[in-house]
Structure 1
Amino acid sequence: MKSLDEMIAAAQNAAQTIQTQMEQAQATLDKLEVEGVSGGGLVTIRATAKGRIIGVNIDESLLQPSEKQMLEDLIAAALNDARSKADSVSNAEMSKMTQGLPLPAGFKLPFGN
């Protein structure tokens, strides 16, 4: 039977391994890109899976003063679409990392989110 010290050391090693994997997963998420689209492609937003906005593309046909409100609505819709896709990619990547870990149902990593 393992001593208490050996079990504590094993738990500390497992925690360090999980921490390293989390750091690697977070770095990966900042490299994965998603694209939010609205208005049938008139507005596109590129973002990382962590939700950092990389770029915005607006079709020139929307650059009319009379289209201001519609453009603002389309930008908001594209941002929300990009955020939703970023969340999906992030969740998929994090579930890959936590596969096989003996975590209780509903337990979410990372702890701060």
Structure 2
Amino acid sequence: MNPGDVNLQQLLEQAQLMQQQLVSAQQELNDAQIEGSSGGGLVTAVVNGSGELLELKIDPSVIDAADPQDTADTIADLVIAAVRDAVRAAADLQQEKLGPLAQGLGGGGLGQLPGF
């Protein structure tokens, strides 16, 4: 074998290992529950690692029966902030779990082969 030749068996084994790692990371993300909050914990959003909203909790103390419109506006703002916080945390987790795999593709996998 010449120094520039590609060992296809080794390449296939690396690809299979990366596929297994990717499936495992994706499963971890689907199983993860990440919490975000706003208003000092008055509203809490729970998302999975893909950013899908799973749960939303609103503290009853946010509700002001004397001013329903202001209460509705406040709750809407708090919900948006809590969901954004949770989705940002989920994106951080995605980068942690999937980032090394993506780097592996360009920094040692197919990215180093001519034509890939």
* Fold similarity call, TM over 0.5: yes
1:86 partnered with 2:86 = no
TM-score (norm 1): 0.76
Structure 1 unaligned blocks of 5 or more: 105-113
C-alpha root-mean-square deviation of aligned residues, in Å?
A: 2.5
Separation in 1 of the partners of 2:45 and 2:95?
20
The alignment partner of 2:19 has SS state of helix
Per-residue deviation, 1:63: 3.3
Per-residue deviation, 1:103: 3.7
Structure 2 unaligned blocks of 5 or more: 108-116
The alignment partner of 1:24 has SS state of helix
Deviation >4 Å, runs of 4+: none
How many residues align? The count is: 102
TM-score (norm 2): 0.74
Match runs of 1:1-113 below 5 Å: 1=1, 7-64=7-64, 65-66=68-69, 67-95=71-99, 98=101, 101=104, 103-104=106-107
